[in-house]
């Protein structure tokens, strides 16, 4: 079946222009990643998970995650936590920051998060999970979405029991990554569970896990009846995969295109995180962009030992001088200087 991924769909009244969603990924989904994802065909982009405790305590780094640019919409900002009241307050901040959807994380398998009672552990606490969704849905006007795993342990089918309860509690869409928390990222995503979940709820379901090509996206959409597919690891350093999935554009990027996208990514990330944080954050991206046979392996090694991102940029452009013109074009097309930095909406706290 040849499904059109350029078809739009709705989460309540929020129109999502394509059936491809860019996954939330901690340590990856910075604003540059999301804006790039939108340019390459993602209909919806997501922030990485943001701690509701960090928002409550006005942690400077956490609030930085709530920076929204005008060309990101529609955008989901994802929050995690275990207390309905704190999650509701965080959701209000997220809405005030400009998110089109508030996404709740019930999928994170990492111990640092699960030991606080947040993330995937909530799948085994359905009453608390539903209370969180209800509190968040009551707190905001924008639709609330939930992202979850299949359950905690291998073979679990918890998502099929919990999912419908979360919809009853107010979730306007569900994303399922059908691996268990125990599996982390091993094995494969069992999308037969996604199909079952679709049959059980009357809200759109997003299928996450192992979608890396147009063929796989079409197959998952056809087999599950999901409204959209979500792509995570396949888009790391590879926005061209998004274009391939949405439009069937099979063309491999030229070296100039790779360098131009990477340089733009570096510049935007430095603006967002500052030089010091950006320069260590970006190192993994060099391998992701330059791998896949695009550049010889030692070239990446050369970049990761350079002192500043300016040196990296210079070295990249020396390797593909034609990229300069492309970078100028890309920068000219981007809306500039209009990031909306969060003004703390003190009033919603009654002056607190």
Selected range binding ligand FMN among 19-27, 34-42, 319-327, 330-338, rule: CB under 6 A: 19-27
* By the rule CB under 6 A, 48 interacts with ligand FMN: yes
Nearer to ligand FMN by Cβ, of 17 and 234: the residue is: 234
Q: What is the widest separation between alpha-carbon atoms in the chain? A: 58
* One of 42, 129, 172, 211 touching ligand FMN (CB under 6 A): 211
* By the rule CB under 6 A, 105 interacts with ligand FMN: yes
108 assigned to active site: yes
Asked if 49 and 94 count as a contact pair (C-beta separation under 8 A), the reply is: no
Asked if 53 and 81 count as a contact pair (C-beta separation under 8 A), the reply is: yes
Where in 59-78 is the site for ligand FMN (CB under 6 A)?
A: 78
* By the rule CB under 6 A, 282 interacts with ligand FMN: no
Residue with tokens 């394509």: 18
Nearer to ligand FMN by Cβ, of 21 and 169: the residue is: 21
* One of 177, 191, 267, 294 touching ligand FMN (CB under 6 A): 177
Three-state SS for 335? coil
Please, what is the angle between helix 297-304 and helix 283-290, to 10°? Answer: 160
Nearer to ligand FMN by Cβ, of 68 and 260: the residue is: 68
The CA distance from 274 to 261, in Å, is 19
Burial of 307 (C-beta count, 10 Å sphere; 0-12/13-18/19+): exposed
Rg, Å, the chain Cα set: 20
* By the rule CB under 6 A, 49 interacts with ligand FMN: yes
Three-state SS for 178? strand
Shortest Cβ 119–ligand FMN spacing (Å): 8
Where in 224-263 is the site for ligand FMN (CB under 6 A)?
A: 231-234
The CA distance from 166 to 91, in Å, is 16
* By the rule CB under 6 A, 208 interacts with ligand FMN: yes
The CA distance from 262 to 39, in Å, is 14
Shortest Cβ 24–ligand FMN spacing (Å): 4
Give the catalytic positions in this structure.
108
Which residues contact ligand FMN (rule: CB under 6 A)?
A: 23-28, 48-49, 78, 105, 107-108, 147, 177, 208-211, 231-234
């Amino acid at each position: 079946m040849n499904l059109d991924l350029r078809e739009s769909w709705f989460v309540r009244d929020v129109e999502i222009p394509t059936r491809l969603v860019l996954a939330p990924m901690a340590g990856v989904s910075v604003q540059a990643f999301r804006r790039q994802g939108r340019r390459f065909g993602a209909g919806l982009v997501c922030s990485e998970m943001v701690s509701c405790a960090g928002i409550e305590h006005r942690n400077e780094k956490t609030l930085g995650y709530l920076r929204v640019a005008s060309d990101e919409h529609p955008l989901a900002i994802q929050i995690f936590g275990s207390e309905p009241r704190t999650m509701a307050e965080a959701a209000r901040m997220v809405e005030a920051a400009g998110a089109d959807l508030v996404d709740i994380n019930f999928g994170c398998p990492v111990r640092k998060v699960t030991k606080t009672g947040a993330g995937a552990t909530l799948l085994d606490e359905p009453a608390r999970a539903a209370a969180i969704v209800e509190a968040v849905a009551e707190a905001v006007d924008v639709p609330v979405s939930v992202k979850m795993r299949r359950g905690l342990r291998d073979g679990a089918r918890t998502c099929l029991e919990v999912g419908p309860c979360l919809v009853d509690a107010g979730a306007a869409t569900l994303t399922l990554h059908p691996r268990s928390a125990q599996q982390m990222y091993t094995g494969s995503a069992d999308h037969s569970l996604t199909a079952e979940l679709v049959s059980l709820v009357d809200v759109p379901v997003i299928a996450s896990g192992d979608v890396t090509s147009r063929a796989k996206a079409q197959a998952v959409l056809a087999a599950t009846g999901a409204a959209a597919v979500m792509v995570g690891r396949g888009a790391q350093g590879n926005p061209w995969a998004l274009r391939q999935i949405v439009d069937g554009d099979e063309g491999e990027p030229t070296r100039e295109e790779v360098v131009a996208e990477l340089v733009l990514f570096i510049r935007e990330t430095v603006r967002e995180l500052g030089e010091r944080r950006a320069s260590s954050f970006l190192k993994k991206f060099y391998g992701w962009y330059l791998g896949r046979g695009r550049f010889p392996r030692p070239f990446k090694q050369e970049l990761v030992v350079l002192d500043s991102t300016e040196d990296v940029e210079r070295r990249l452009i020396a390797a593909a001088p034609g990229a300069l013109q492309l970078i100028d074009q890309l920068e000219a097309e981007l809306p500039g200087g209009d990031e909306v930095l969060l003004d703390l909406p003190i009033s919603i706290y009654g002056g607190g």
